[in-house]
Structure 1
Protein backbone atom coordinates (compact mmCIF):
# COMPACT_ATOMS: atom_id res chain seq x y z
CA UNK A 1 0.00 0.00 0.00
CA UNK A 2 1.21 3.49 -0.87
CA UNK A 3 1.38 6.12 1.87
CA UNK A 4 2.26 9.76 1.32
CA UNK A 5 3.27 11.96 4.21
CA UNK A 6 5.02 15.23 4.92
CA UNK A 7 8.82 15.18 4.90
CA UNK A 8 10.13 15.11 8.48
CA UNK A 9 13.56 15.93 9.87
CA UNK A 10 14.18 12.24 10.59
CA UNK A 11 13.60 11.47 6.87
CA UNK A 12 16.83 13.17 5.86
CA UNK A 13 18.67 10.00 4.74
CA UNK A 14 15.82 8.63 2.60
CA UNK A 15 14.98 12.08 1.25
CA UNK A 16 18.64 12.57 0.31
CA UNK A 17 18.74 9.29 -1.58
CA UNK A 18 15.63 10.25 -3.57
CA UNK A 19 16.92 13.79 -4.09
CA UNK A 20 20.21 12.50 -5.46
CA UNK A 21 18.28 10.19 -7.80
CA UNK A 22 16.28 13.18 -9.00
CA UNK A 23 19.40 15.26 -9.62
CA UNK A 24 21.03 12.33 -11.44
CA UNK A 25 17.94 11.93 -13.65
CA UNK A 26 18.27 15.57 -14.69
CA UNK A 27 22.04 15.21 -15.04
CA UNK A 28 22.77 18.00 -12.59
CA UNK A 29 24.78 18.46 -9.45
CA UNK A 30 24.26 20.75 -6.49
CA UNK A 31 26.66 21.51 -3.70
CA UNK A 32 26.06 19.82 -0.36
CA UNK A 33 25.24 23.15 1.26
CA UNK A 34 22.51 23.93 -1.30
CA UNK A 35 21.05 20.45 -0.82
CA UNK A 36 21.07 20.85 2.95
CA UNK A 37 19.53 24.31 2.67
CA UNK A 38 16.73 22.88 0.51
CA UNK A 39 16.03 20.12 3.03
CA UNK A 40 16.07 22.56 5.95
CA UNK A 41 13.47 24.72 4.23
CA UNK A 42 11.29 21.74 3.29
CA UNK A 43 11.04 20.59 6.92
CA UNK A 44 10.47 24.13 8.23
CA UNK A 45 6.73 24.90 8.10
CA UNK A 46 7.44 28.65 8.11
CA UNK A 47 9.58 28.56 4.95
CA UNK A 48 6.76 28.34 2.42
CA UNK A 49 8.35 25.31 0.74
CA UNK A 50 6.55 22.02 1.35
CA UNK A 51 7.45 18.43 0.65
CA UNK A 52 6.15 14.89 0.90
CA UNK A 53 7.56 11.41 0.49
CA UNK A 54 5.74 8.41 -0.97
CA UNK A 55 6.28 5.17 0.96
CA UNK A 56 5.58 1.69 -0.41
CA UNK A 57 5.90 -1.27 1.95
CA UNK A 58 8.12 0.75 4.29
CA UNK A 59 10.43 2.01 1.53
CA UNK A 60 10.63 5.60 0.30
CA UNK A 61 9.82 5.50 -3.42
CA UNK A 62 9.19 9.12 -4.39
CA UNK A 63 9.22 12.75 -3.40
CA UNK A 64 7.47 15.95 -4.28
CA UNK A 65 8.16 19.59 -3.36
CA UNK A 66 5.88 22.57 -3.93
CA UNK A 67 5.26 26.15 -2.94
CA UNK A 68 2.41 28.60 -3.29
CA UNK A 69 2.62 32.20 -4.37
CA UNK A 70 0.38 35.13 -5.13
CA UNK A 71 -0.73 35.67 -8.69
CA UNK A 72 -1.83 38.64 -10.74
CA UNK A 73 -4.37 36.68 -12.82
CA UNK A 74 -6.33 35.22 -9.92
CA UNK A 75 -7.61 35.99 -6.46
CA UNK A 76 -6.33 32.59 -5.37
CA UNK A 77 -2.65 31.75 -5.08
CA UNK A 78 -0.91 29.51 -7.58
CA UNK A 79 0.87 26.33 -6.55
CA UNK A 80 4.17 25.56 -8.22
CA UNK A 81 5.05 21.86 -8.16
CA UNK A 82 8.80 22.28 -8.25
CA UNK A 83 10.21 18.76 -7.92
CA UNK A 84 8.65 15.35 -8.53
CA UNK A 85 10.63 12.14 -8.55
CA UNK A 86 9.75 8.46 -8.38
CA UNK A 87 12.55 5.92 -8.02
CA UNK A 88 13.07 3.77 -11.13
CA UNK A 89 11.79 0.59 -9.47
CA UNK A 90 8.51 2.26 -8.50
CA UNK A 91 7.72 3.93 -11.82
CA UNK A 92 4.39 2.81 -13.20
CA UNK A 93 3.14 1.95 -9.69
CA UNK A 94 0.89 4.99 -9.37
CA UNK A 95 3.30 6.79 -7.02
CA UNK A 96 3.75 9.77 -9.35
CA UNK A 97 0.00 10.15 -9.84
CA UNK A 98 -0.50 9.90 -6.07
CA UNK A 99 2.16 12.50 -5.34
CA UNK A 100 0.51 14.91 -7.79
CA UNK A 101 -2.83 14.14 -6.12
CA UNK A 102 -1.29 14.93 -2.74
CA UNK A 103 -0.18 18.35 -3.97
CA UNK A 104 -3.59 18.90 -5.58
CA UNK A 105 -5.28 18.20 -2.24
CA UNK A 106 -2.96 20.58 -0.37
CA UNK A 107 -3.37 23.30 -3.01
CA UNK A 108 -7.15 22.89 -2.90
CA UNK A 109 -7.13 23.15 0.89
CA UNK A 110 -5.03 26.33 0.59
CA UNK A 111 -7.51 27.89 -1.84
CA UNK A 112 -5.12 27.89 -4.79
CA UNK A 113 -6.48 28.62 -8.26
CA UNK A 114 -4.16 26.21 -10.06
CA UNK A 115 -1.07 24.01 -9.91
CA UNK A 116 1.61 24.23 -12.55
CA UNK A 117 4.97 22.59 -13.21
CA UNK A 118 7.73 22.13 -15.76
CA UNK A 119 9.46 19.07 -17.11
CA UNK A 120 12.07 18.28 -19.71
CA UNK A 121 10.79 17.75 -23.25
CA UNK A 122 12.66 14.44 -23.24
CA UNK A 123 10.94 13.19 -20.08
CA UNK A 124 8.47 11.17 -22.15
CA UNK A 125 7.43 8.68 -19.47
CA UNK A 126 6.48 11.40 -16.99
CA UNK A 127 4.86 13.46 -19.74
CA UNK A 128 2.55 10.54 -20.54
CA UNK A 129 1.26 10.77 -16.96
CA UNK A 130 1.11 14.57 -17.00
CA UNK A 131 -0.96 14.48 -20.20
CA UNK A 132 -3.50 12.34 -18.30
CA UNK A 133 -3.76 14.46 -15.16
CA UNK A 134 -3.27 18.02 -16.41
CA UNK A 135 -3.58 20.29 -19.43
CA UNK A 136 -0.48 21.32 -21.31
CA UNK A 137 -0.33 25.11 -21.17
CA UNK A 138 1.43 25.79 -24.47
CA UNK A 139 3.87 28.17 -22.81
CA UNK A 140 7.61 27.95 -23.41
CA UNK A 141 9.89 28.22 -20.41
CA UNK A 142 12.74 30.73 -20.37
CA UNK A 143 15.15 31.53 -17.59
CA UNK A 144 17.78 34.12 -16.84
CA UNK A 145 20.43 32.91 -14.43
CA UNK A 146 21.72 35.45 -11.93
Structure 2
Protein backbone atom coordinates (compact mmCIF):
# COMPACT_ATOMS: atom_id res chain seq x y z
CA UNK A 1 0.00 0.00 0.00
CA UNK A 2 1.63 3.30 -1.06
CA UNK A 3 1.64 5.58 1.96
CA UNK A 4 2.14 9.33 1.93
CA UNK A 5 3.02 11.15 5.17
CA UNK A 6 2.82 14.92 5.45
CA UNK A 7 2.06 17.66 7.99
CA UNK A 8 -1.64 18.26 8.54
CA UNK A 9 -3.54 21.05 6.81
CA UNK A 10 -6.87 22.61 7.80
CA UNK A 11 -8.83 20.34 5.45
CA UNK A 12 -7.57 17.30 7.41
CA UNK A 13 -9.54 18.21 10.52
CA UNK A 14 -12.43 15.68 10.11
CA UNK A 15 -10.04 12.78 9.49
CA UNK A 16 -7.61 13.87 12.20
CA UNK A 17 -10.49 14.20 14.68
CA UNK A 18 -11.81 10.74 13.84
CA UNK A 19 -8.38 9.16 14.27
CA UNK A 20 -7.51 11.14 17.40
CA UNK A 21 -10.83 10.23 19.05
CA UNK A 22 -10.27 6.56 18.13
CA UNK A 23 -6.81 6.81 19.70
CA UNK A 24 -8.28 8.25 22.92
CA UNK A 25 -10.92 5.48 22.96
CA UNK A 26 -8.22 2.84 22.39
CA UNK A 27 -6.57 3.93 25.64
CA UNK A 28 -9.98 4.16 27.35
CA UNK A 29 -9.43 7.80 28.21
CA UNK A 30 -11.62 10.88 28.10
CA UNK A 31 -10.29 14.15 26.73
CA UNK A 32 -12.73 17.09 26.88
CA UNK A 33 -13.87 18.52 23.55
CA UNK A 34 -12.36 21.94 24.30
CA UNK A 35 -8.94 20.31 24.88
CA UNK A 36 -9.22 18.34 21.62
CA UNK A 37 -10.12 21.56 19.77
CA UNK A 38 -7.23 23.46 21.39
CA UNK A 39 -4.87 20.58 20.51
CA UNK A 40 -6.02 20.69 16.88
CA UNK A 41 -5.41 24.44 16.66
CA UNK A 42 -1.95 24.15 18.23
CA UNK A 43 -0.96 21.28 15.95
CA UNK A 44 -2.23 23.08 12.86
CA UNK A 45 -0.40 26.29 13.81
CA UNK A 46 2.69 24.29 14.79
CA UNK A 47 2.48 26.25 18.03
CA UNK A 48 4.40 25.42 21.22
CA UNK A 49 6.70 23.07 19.32
CA UNK A 50 3.74 20.91 18.27
CA UNK A 51 3.29 19.32 14.85
CA UNK A 52 0.93 16.68 13.49
CA UNK A 53 1.63 14.29 10.64
CA UNK A 54 -1.05 12.44 8.72
CA UNK A 55 -0.57 9.29 6.66
CA UNK A 56 -2.81 8.75 3.65
CA UNK A 57 -3.30 5.72 1.45
CA UNK A 58 -3.15 5.60 -2.36
CA UNK A 59 -6.71 6.95 -2.56
CA UNK A 60 -5.95 9.87 -0.25
CA UNK A 61 -7.83 8.44 2.74
CA UNK A 62 -6.42 9.12 6.19
CA UNK A 63 -4.75 5.97 7.52
CA UNK A 64 -2.94 7.25 10.62
CA UNK A 65 -1.67 10.23 12.60
CA UNK A 66 1.36 11.16 14.64
CA UNK A 67 1.32 14.15 17.01
CA UNK A 68 4.78 15.42 17.88
CA UNK A 69 6.04 17.78 20.57
CA UNK A 70 9.48 19.33 20.21
CA UNK A 71 11.02 20.57 23.46
CA UNK A 72 14.31 21.58 25.03
CA UNK A 73 16.16 19.31 27.41
CA UNK A 74 18.27 19.82 30.49
CA UNK A 75 20.54 17.02 29.25
CA UNK A 76 21.24 18.33 25.77
CA UNK A 77 21.98 21.55 23.90
CA UNK A 78 19.56 20.39 21.20
CA UNK A 79 15.85 19.69 20.97
CA UNK A 80 14.08 16.44 21.79
CA UNK A 81 11.12 15.07 19.84
CA UNK A 82 8.34 13.44 21.84
CA UNK A 83 6.07 11.32 19.67
CA UNK A 84 3.10 11.87 21.97
CA UNK A 85 0.36 10.22 19.94
CA UNK A 86 0.62 7.60 17.21
CA UNK A 87 -2.49 5.91 15.85
CA UNK A 88 -3.24 3.81 12.78
CA UNK A 89 -6.79 3.18 11.60
CA UNK A 90 -7.93 -0.40 12.20
CA UNK A 91 -8.29 -1.15 8.47
CA UNK A 92 -4.77 0.16 7.75
CA UNK A 93 -2.91 -1.83 10.41
CA UNK A 94 -0.21 -4.22 9.27
CA UNK A 95 0.33 -2.27 6.04
CA UNK A 96 3.34 -0.16 7.02
CA UNK A 97 1.48 2.96 8.13
CA UNK A 98 2.91 2.99 11.66
CA UNK A 99 6.44 2.50 10.34
CA UNK A 100 5.94 5.28 7.77
CA UNK A 101 4.74 7.66 10.49
CA UNK A 102 7.71 6.83 12.72
CA UNK A 103 10.15 7.24 9.83
CA UNK A 104 8.56 10.62 9.00
CA UNK A 105 8.85 11.56 12.67
CA UNK A 106 12.55 10.65 12.61
CA UNK A 107 13.02 12.73 9.45
CA UNK A 108 11.31 15.75 11.01
CA UNK A 109 13.33 15.34 14.19
CA UNK A 110 16.53 15.20 12.13
CA UNK A 111 15.45 18.24 10.11
CA UNK A 112 14.95 20.18 13.34
CA UNK A 113 18.21 18.97 14.88
CA UNK A 114 16.59 16.91 17.65
CA UNK A 115 19.08 14.60 19.30
CA UNK A 116 16.44 12.29 20.78
CA UNK A 117 13.10 10.97 19.59
CA UNK A 118 11.08 9.05 22.12
CA UNK A 119 7.60 7.75 22.89
CA UNK A 120 5.71 5.55 25.34
CA UNK A 121 3.05 2.89 25.07
CA UNK A 122 1.24 0.55 27.39
CA UNK A 123 3.15 -2.59 28.24
CA UNK A 124 0.23 -4.71 26.98
CA UNK A 125 0.16 -3.02 23.54
CA UNK A 126 1.86 -6.03 21.92
CA UNK A 127 1.10 -5.25 18.26
CA UNK A 128 2.53 -1.75 18.45
CA UNK A 129 5.47 -2.91 20.54
CA UNK A 130 6.42 -5.46 17.89
CA UNK A 131 6.96 -2.53 15.50
CA UNK A 132 8.59 -0.33 18.15
CA UNK A 133 11.10 -3.07 18.94
CA UNK A 134 12.22 -2.94 15.29
CA UNK A 135 12.43 0.86 14.90
CA UNK A 136 13.52 2.00 18.35
CA UNK A 137 15.30 0.91 21.48
CA UNK A 138 13.44 -0.02 24.65
CA UNK A 139 14.78 1.85 27.69
CA UNK A 140 14.87 0.73 31.28
CA UNK A 141 12.97 3.77 32.52
CA UNK A 142 9.59 3.50 34.25
CA UNK A 143 7.13 6.35 33.96
CA UNK A 144 5.44 7.88 37.01
CA UNK A 145 2.60 10.39 37.03
CA UNK A 146 0.81 12.66 39.39
> For the superposition of Structure 1 and Structure 2, which TM-score range results when normalised by the shorter chain?
over 0.9
- 2:78 alignment counterpart: 76
- 1:132 alignment counterpart: 134
Aligned length in residues: 144
Deviations 1:42-64 (A, max 9, x none): 00133321001100021101000
What TM-score do the two structures reach when normalised by structure 1? 0.95
- Distance, in Å, in 2 between the alignment partners of 1:7 and 1:112 is 20
- 1:11 alignment counterpart: 12
Match of 2:123 among 121, 124, 132: 121
- 2:107 alignment counterpart: 105
What TM-score do the two structures reach when normalised by structure 2? 0.95
Which contiguous aligned blocks of 4+ residues in structure 1 show a shift greater than 6 angstroms?
none
Over the aligned positions, Cα root-mean-square deviation in angstroms equals: 0.9
Gaps of 5+ in 2: none
After superposition, where does 1:4-43 map in structure 2 within 5 Å?
4-43=5-44
Is 1:51–2:59 an aligned residue pair?
A: no
